[in-house]
Structure 1
Amino acid sequence: MEQRIGSSSQPLEGAGFDPAFIPGLTSPASEREEDAKAEEPEKPAGSPVVEDTAPEADEAPEAEEPAPDGPVFEASDRRARILADHRGVRLRLDDQECEFRWDEIGAVETETARFGKRYTVTVHTPDRRWYPIEIEAPSRSRFAEWDTELDKVLDAYFDEGDAQETETGAGADRKADADAE
Protein backbone atom coordinates (compact mmCIF):
# COMPACT_ATOMS: atom_id res chain seq x y z
CA MET A 1 0.00 0.00 0.00
CA GLU A 2 1.30 3.45 -0.95
CA GLN A 3 1.28 6.36 1.48
CA ARG A 4 1.84 9.99 0.66
CA ILE A 5 3.92 12.19 2.89
CA GLY A 6 2.28 15.49 3.72
CA SER A 7 -1.23 16.73 3.28
CA SER A 8 -3.02 16.27 -0.02
CA SER A 9 -5.74 18.79 0.82
CA GLN A 10 -5.58 22.33 -0.50
CA PRO A 11 -5.74 25.26 1.97
CA LEU A 12 -9.22 26.64 2.47
CA GLU A 13 -10.00 30.07 1.06
CA GLY A 14 -12.70 32.61 1.68
CA ALA A 15 -13.79 35.15 4.25
CA GLY A 16 -14.53 32.44 6.82
CA PHE A 17 -10.87 31.52 6.96
CA ASP A 18 -9.16 34.77 5.98
CA PRO A 19 -10.82 37.99 7.23
CA ALA A 20 -8.89 40.04 4.67
CA PHE A 21 -10.21 37.97 1.74
CA ILE A 22 -12.35 39.92 -0.70
CA PRO A 23 -13.52 37.81 -3.67
CA GLY A 24 -12.32 39.14 -6.99
CA LEU A 25 -10.17 41.87 -5.44
CA THR A 26 -7.10 40.02 -4.27
CA SER A 27 -5.75 36.55 -4.73
CA PRO A 28 -4.42 34.49 -1.84
CA ALA A 29 -0.75 35.05 -1.04
CA SER A 30 0.23 31.52 -2.12
CA GLU A 31 -1.13 32.15 -5.64
CA ARG A 32 0.70 35.48 -5.90
CA GLU A 33 3.99 33.79 -4.94
CA GLU A 34 3.43 31.06 -7.54
CA ASP A 35 2.59 33.67 -10.20
CA ALA A 36 5.75 35.62 -9.40
CA LYS A 37 7.87 32.47 -9.72
CA ALA A 38 6.22 31.58 -13.03
CA GLU A 39 6.88 35.06 -14.49
CA GLU A 40 10.57 34.99 -13.56
CA PRO A 41 12.54 33.75 -16.58
CA GLU A 42 14.95 30.90 -16.01
CA LYS A 43 18.60 31.62 -16.73
CA PRO A 44 20.79 28.99 -18.35
CA ALA A 45 23.45 27.48 -16.12
CA GLY A 46 26.80 29.23 -16.27
CA SER A 47 25.46 32.55 -17.58
CA PRO A 48 26.53 35.67 -15.68
CA VAL A 49 23.94 37.37 -13.50
CA VAL A 50 23.47 41.02 -14.43
CA GLU A 51 20.97 43.11 -12.52
CA ASP A 52 19.50 46.25 -14.00
CA THR A 53 19.60 48.92 -11.30
CA ALA A 54 18.90 51.95 -13.49
CA PRO A 55 15.44 53.47 -13.02
CA GLU A 56 13.08 53.29 -15.97
CA ALA A 57 12.37 56.47 -17.91
CA ASP A 58 8.78 56.82 -16.67
CA GLU A 59 9.65 55.89 -13.09
CA ALA A 60 10.52 58.82 -10.81
CA PRO A 61 12.85 58.15 -7.86
CA GLU A 62 10.97 58.24 -4.57
CA ALA A 63 11.99 61.00 -2.24
CA GLU A 64 11.51 60.49 1.47
CA GLU A 65 9.66 63.32 3.12
CA PRO A 66 11.98 65.19 5.47
CA ALA A 67 11.09 64.98 9.13
CA PRO A 68 10.25 68.38 10.61
CA ASP A 69 11.94 69.49 13.81
CA GLY A 70 8.74 69.07 15.81
CA PRO A 71 8.24 67.01 18.95
CA VAL A 72 8.28 63.21 18.87
CA PHE A 73 6.93 60.78 21.47
CA GLU A 74 8.25 57.25 21.65
CA ALA A 75 7.76 54.63 24.33
CA SER A 76 8.45 50.91 24.12
CA ASP A 77 9.02 47.77 26.09
CA ARG A 78 9.97 44.24 25.08
CA ARG A 79 6.67 43.65 23.20
CA ALA A 80 4.96 46.95 22.51
CA ARG A 81 5.91 50.29 20.96
CA ILE A 82 4.13 53.59 20.35
CA LEU A 83 5.50 56.37 18.18
CA ALA A 84 3.76 59.72 17.69
CA ASP A 85 5.29 62.30 15.38
CA HIS A 86 4.42 64.61 12.47
CA ARG A 87 3.00 61.69 10.42
CA GLY A 88 0.59 60.41 13.09
CA VAL A 89 0.51 57.65 15.68
CA ARG A 90 1.95 54.18 15.10
CA LEU A 91 1.28 51.28 17.43
CA ARG A 92 3.09 47.94 17.40
CA LEU A 93 2.52 44.84 19.50
CA ASP A 94 4.76 41.87 18.69
CA ASP A 95 4.42 41.47 14.92
CA GLN A 96 1.18 43.47 14.54
CA GLU A 97 1.29 47.13 13.53
CA CYS A 98 -1.21 49.87 12.83
CA GLU A 99 -0.77 53.47 11.78
CA PHE A 100 -3.11 56.43 12.15
CA ARG A 101 -2.71 59.74 10.37
CA TRP A 102 -3.70 62.79 12.40
CA ASP A 103 -6.88 63.26 10.36
CA GLU A 104 -7.96 59.69 11.27
CA ILE A 105 -7.74 60.26 15.03
CA GLY A 106 -10.68 61.45 17.11
CA ALA A 107 -8.92 61.43 20.49
CA VAL A 108 -5.90 60.05 22.31
CA GLU A 109 -6.37 58.87 25.87
CA THR A 110 -3.75 57.84 28.42
CA GLU A 111 -4.22 55.79 31.55
CA THR A 112 -1.91 54.46 34.23
CA ALA A 113 -2.40 51.35 36.29
CA ARG A 114 -3.16 51.89 39.95
CA PHE A 115 -0.61 49.27 40.85
CA GLY A 116 2.25 48.18 38.67
CA LYS A 117 4.03 49.94 35.84
CA ARG A 118 1.58 49.70 32.92
CA TYR A 119 1.02 52.83 30.83
CA THR A 120 -1.94 52.56 28.46
CA VAL A 121 -2.40 54.74 25.39
CA THR A 122 -5.72 54.43 23.54
CA VAL A 123 -6.27 55.90 20.08
CA HIS A 124 -9.93 56.66 19.34
CA THR A 125 -11.18 57.10 15.79
CA PRO A 126 -14.20 59.21 14.76
CA ASP A 127 -16.15 56.06 13.84
CA ARG A 128 -16.19 55.04 17.53
CA ARG A 129 -13.43 52.44 17.42
CA TRP A 130 -10.55 52.42 19.85
CA TYR A 131 -7.10 50.86 19.78
CA PRO A 132 -5.35 50.50 23.16
CA ILE A 133 -1.74 49.53 23.74
CA GLU A 134 -0.05 48.87 27.08
CA ILE A 135 3.61 49.67 27.65
CA GLU A 136 5.46 48.49 30.72
CA ALA A 137 7.47 51.40 32.09
CA PRO A 138 10.88 50.93 33.71
CA SER A 139 9.52 52.83 36.73
CA ARG A 140 6.36 54.66 37.73
CA SER A 141 8.25 57.97 37.56
CA ARG A 142 8.31 57.66 33.74
CA PHE A 143 4.51 58.13 33.58
CA ALA A 144 4.76 61.90 34.16
CA GLU A 145 7.57 62.23 31.57
CA TRP A 146 5.60 60.27 28.98
CA ASP A 147 2.44 62.30 29.60
CA THR A 148 4.39 65.55 29.11
CA GLU A 149 6.08 64.31 25.91
CA LEU A 150 2.80 63.01 24.46
CA ASP A 151 1.00 66.28 25.29
CA LYS A 152 3.68 68.23 23.39
CA VAL A 153 3.14 66.07 20.30
CA LEU A 154 -0.65 66.29 20.54
CA ASP A 155 -0.50 70.07 20.97
CA ALA A 156 1.76 70.39 17.92
CA TYR A 157 0.01 68.07 15.46
CA PHE A 158 -3.49 67.14 16.67
CA ASP A 159 -6.15 69.62 15.58
CA GLU A 160 -9.27 69.05 17.67
CA GLY A 161 -11.39 71.10 15.25
CA ASP A 162 -11.00 68.40 12.58
CA ALA A 163 -11.92 65.59 14.96
CA GLN A 164 -15.68 66.42 14.85
CA GLU A 165 -16.07 65.19 18.42
CA THR A 166 -18.38 66.75 20.94
CA GLU A 167 -17.57 67.37 24.57
CA THR A 168 -19.50 64.22 25.49
CA GLY A 169 -17.64 62.03 22.96
CA ALA A 170 -14.21 60.47 23.02
CA GLY A 171 -12.63 63.90 22.54
CA ALA A 172 -13.68 64.80 26.08
CA ASP A 173 -11.46 62.02 27.49
CA ARG A 174 -8.23 63.79 26.50
CA LYS A 175 -9.60 67.11 27.73
CA ALA A 176 -10.61 65.54 31.05
CA ASP A 177 -7.11 64.04 31.41
CA ALA A 178 -5.54 67.44 30.69
CA ASP A 179 -7.84 69.21 33.18
CA ALA A 180 -7.01 66.69 35.91
CA GLU A 181 -3.29 67.57 35.76
Structure 2
Amino acid sequence: MTQHPPPGPGFGPPPPQYAPAPPAYAPQPPYAQAPQPPYAQAPQPPYAQAPPPQQAAAGPDFLAVDKRNAVVVDASGVAFETSGHTVEFRWPEIRGVHYRASPDGKALMVAVVHMDGRFYECVVQARPRTRLQEWFPQLARVLGHYRPVG
Protein backbone atom coordinates (compact mmCIF):
# COMPACT_ATOMS: atom_id res chain seq x y z
CA MET A 1 0.00 0.00 0.00
CA THR A 2 1.16 3.41 -0.83
CA GLN A 3 0.51 6.28 1.36
CA HIS A 4 -0.68 9.48 -0.19
CA PRO A 5 0.55 12.84 1.03
CA PRO A 6 -1.94 14.84 3.09
CA PRO A 7 -4.24 17.03 1.01
CA GLY A 8 -3.09 20.54 0.28
CA PRO A 9 -4.77 23.74 1.40
CA GLY A 10 -8.43 24.07 0.45
CA PHE A 11 -9.33 20.51 1.29
CA GLY A 12 -11.20 19.43 4.40
CA PRO A 13 -12.91 21.55 7.04
CA PRO A 14 -11.71 25.11 7.61
CA PRO A 15 -9.30 25.71 10.43
CA PRO A 16 -11.01 26.74 13.70
CA GLN A 17 -10.11 30.42 13.32
CA TYR A 18 -12.14 30.55 10.05
CA ALA A 19 -15.15 28.52 11.17
CA PRO A 20 -18.41 30.44 11.52
CA ALA A 21 -19.37 31.50 15.01
CA PRO A 22 -22.07 29.40 16.65
CA PRO A 23 -25.53 31.03 16.71
CA ALA A 24 -26.28 33.23 19.71
CA TYR A 25 -29.55 31.42 20.24
CA ALA A 26 -30.44 27.79 20.04
CA PRO A 27 -33.21 27.21 17.51
CA GLN A 28 -36.05 25.13 18.83
CA PRO A 29 -37.04 22.05 16.94
CA PRO A 30 -40.35 22.25 15.08
CA TYR A 31 -42.07 19.87 17.49
CA ALA A 32 -41.53 22.29 20.36
CA GLN A 33 -43.60 25.05 18.79
CA ALA A 34 -46.89 26.00 20.35
CA PRO A 35 -49.88 24.45 18.60
CA GLN A 36 -51.50 26.73 16.07
CA PRO A 37 -55.18 27.55 16.48
CA PRO A 38 -57.41 26.28 13.69
CA TYR A 39 -57.69 28.61 10.73
CA ALA A 40 -60.55 31.06 10.95
CA GLN A 41 -61.67 33.29 8.16
CA ALA A 42 -61.24 36.88 9.20
CA PRO A 43 -63.69 39.27 7.59
CA GLN A 44 -62.13 40.52 4.40
CA PRO A 45 -62.33 44.23 3.56
CA PRO A 46 -64.07 44.92 0.28
CA TYR A 47 -61.47 45.36 -2.43
CA ALA A 48 -62.07 47.22 -5.64
CA GLN A 49 -62.07 44.53 -8.27
CA ALA A 50 -62.48 44.75 -11.99
CA PRO A 51 -65.91 43.68 -13.09
CA PRO A 52 -66.18 40.30 -14.80
CA PRO A 53 -65.60 40.45 -18.56
CA GLN A 54 -69.30 40.24 -19.40
CA GLN A 55 -69.87 43.43 -17.35
CA ALA A 56 -66.76 45.30 -18.53
CA ALA A 57 -68.63 47.15 -21.25
CA ALA A 58 -70.51 49.90 -19.43
CA GLY A 59 -71.80 51.32 -22.67
CA PRO A 60 -71.54 50.99 -26.42
CA ASP A 61 -68.26 50.41 -28.18
CA PHE A 62 -66.87 50.97 -31.64
CA LEU A 63 -64.31 48.90 -33.53
CA ALA A 64 -62.82 49.60 -36.95
CA VAL A 65 -60.08 47.24 -38.08
CA ASP A 66 -58.08 46.43 -41.18
CA LYS A 67 -55.02 44.22 -41.81
CA ARG A 68 -52.60 46.50 -39.93
CA ASN A 69 -54.54 49.09 -37.93
CA ALA A 70 -57.48 49.32 -35.56
CA VAL A 71 -59.47 51.95 -33.68
CA VAL A 72 -61.41 51.03 -30.53
CA VAL A 73 -63.68 53.41 -28.64
CA ASP A 74 -65.27 52.13 -25.43
CA ALA A 75 -65.98 53.00 -21.81
CA SER A 76 -62.28 53.31 -20.97
CA GLY A 77 -61.37 55.65 -23.84
CA VAL A 78 -59.85 55.39 -27.29
CA ALA A 79 -57.19 52.92 -28.40
CA PHE A 80 -55.19 52.90 -31.62
CA GLU A 81 -53.33 49.86 -32.88
CA THR A 82 -50.89 50.52 -35.70
CA SER A 83 -48.71 47.73 -37.08
CA GLY A 84 -48.76 45.82 -33.79
CA HIS A 85 -48.21 48.82 -31.49
CA THR A 86 -51.06 49.89 -29.21
CA VAL A 87 -51.62 53.33 -27.73
CA GLU A 88 -54.46 53.83 -25.25
CA PHE A 89 -56.00 57.14 -24.28
CA ARG A 90 -58.26 57.30 -21.21
CA TRP A 91 -61.21 59.68 -21.32
CA PRO A 92 -59.80 62.06 -18.65
CA GLU A 93 -56.69 62.70 -20.79
CA ILE A 94 -58.59 63.31 -24.05
CA ARG A 95 -59.45 66.87 -25.08
CA GLY A 96 -61.22 65.83 -28.28
CA VAL A 97 -61.78 63.08 -30.85
CA HIS A 98 -62.17 63.92 -34.54
CA TYR A 99 -62.85 61.68 -37.49
CA ARG A 100 -63.35 61.92 -41.24
CA ALA A 101 -62.93 59.99 -44.46
CA SER A 102 -59.52 59.96 -46.10
CA PRO A 103 -59.16 62.17 -49.19
CA ASP A 104 -59.64 59.16 -51.49
CA GLY A 105 -62.70 57.99 -49.52
CA LYS A 106 -61.21 54.55 -48.82
CA ALA A 107 -60.27 54.91 -45.13
CA LEU A 108 -61.47 56.20 -41.78
CA MET A 109 -59.15 58.74 -40.18
CA VAL A 110 -59.55 59.13 -36.40
CA ALA A 111 -57.60 61.67 -34.38
CA VAL A 112 -57.26 62.08 -30.62
CA VAL A 113 -56.24 65.45 -29.21
CA HIS A 114 -54.53 64.99 -25.85
CA MET A 115 -55.13 67.44 -22.99
CA ASP A 116 -51.62 68.87 -23.47
CA GLY A 117 -52.33 69.56 -27.16
CA ARG A 118 -50.54 66.58 -28.68
CA PHE A 119 -52.33 65.07 -31.66
CA TYR A 120 -52.48 61.34 -32.51
CA GLU A 121 -54.03 59.81 -35.61
CA CYS A 122 -54.89 56.33 -36.85
CA VAL A 123 -56.07 55.42 -40.36
CA VAL A 124 -58.13 52.28 -40.97
CA GLN A 125 -58.82 51.09 -44.50
CA ALA A 126 -62.51 50.44 -45.23
CA ARG A 127 -62.93 47.33 -47.33
CA PRO A 128 -65.38 47.17 -48.87
CA ARG A 129 -65.68 50.90 -49.32
CA THR A 130 -69.33 50.81 -48.16
CA ARG A 131 -68.09 49.86 -44.69
CA LEU A 132 -66.91 53.45 -44.24
CA GLN A 133 -70.51 54.64 -44.48
CA GLU A 134 -71.46 52.08 -41.77
CA TRP A 135 -68.66 53.25 -39.45
CA PHE A 136 -69.62 56.94 -39.42
CA PRO A 137 -73.02 56.63 -37.65
CA GLN A 138 -71.67 53.95 -35.28
CA LEU A 139 -68.70 56.09 -34.29
CA ALA A 140 -70.87 59.19 -33.90
CA ARG A 141 -73.26 57.31 -31.58
CA VAL A 142 -70.47 55.89 -29.41
CA LEU A 143 -68.58 59.19 -29.15
CA GLY A 144 -71.85 60.96 -28.33
CA HIS A 145 -72.44 58.50 -25.51
CA TYR A 146 -69.03 59.08 -23.86
CA ARG A 147 -68.37 62.68 -24.91
CA PRO A 148 -71.72 64.43 -25.22
CA VAL A 149 -71.56 67.84 -26.86
CA GLY A 150 -72.73 70.69 -24.70
TM over 0.5: same fold? yes
Which residue matches 1:119? 108
Q: Which has the larger radius of gyration?
A: 2
Given that 2:75 and 2:146 are in contact with CA atoms closer than 8 Å, whether structure 1 keeps it comes out as yes
Given that 2:62 and 2:139 are in contact with CA atoms closer than 8 Å, whether structure 1 keeps it comes out as yes
Encode CA deviations 1:73-102: one digit per residue, 9 max, x unaligned.
Answer: 001111101110111111111221111111
Could you tell me the TM-score, scaled by structure 1's length?
A: 0.51
Runs of 4+ with >3 A deviation: 60-63
Q: For residue 147 of structure 2, what is the amino acid of its counterpart?
A: F
**% identity of equivalent residues:** 34
Q: 2:49 aligns with which of 63, 66, 74?
A: 63
Which residue matches 2:127? 138
Gapped regions of structure 2 (runs ≥ 5): 1-41
Mean Cα displacement is larger for which, 62-71 or 143-152? 62-71
Structure-2 separation of matches of 1:144 and 1:152? 13
Structure-1 separation of matches of 2:47 and 2:117? 39
Structure-2 separation of matches of 1:116 and 1:156? 26
Which residue matches 1:51? none
SS where residue 104 of structure 2 aligns? coil
Gapped regions of structure 1 (runs ≥ 5): 1-56, 162-181
Q: For residue 140 of structure 1, what is the amino acid of its counterpart?
A: R
Which residue matches 1:89? 78
Q: For residue 101 of structure 1, what is the amino acid of its counterpart?
A: R
**1:109–1:63 distance in 2 versus 1, CA, 3 Å:** same
1:64: Cα distance to partner? 2.7
Which residue matches 1:15? none
Structure-2 separation of matches of 1:86 and 1:147? 18
Could you tell me the TM-score, scaled by structure 2's length?
A: 0.60
1:130: Cα distance to partner? 0.8
Aligned-pair Cα RMSD in Å: 2.4
Q: For residue 142 of structure 1, what is the amino acid of its counterpart?
A: R
1:110: Cα distance to partner? 0.9
Is 1:103 equivalent to 2:71 in the alignment?
no
The 5-angstrom pairing of residues 67-82 of structure 1 reads: 67-68=56-57, 70-82=59-71
Which residue matches 1:156? 145
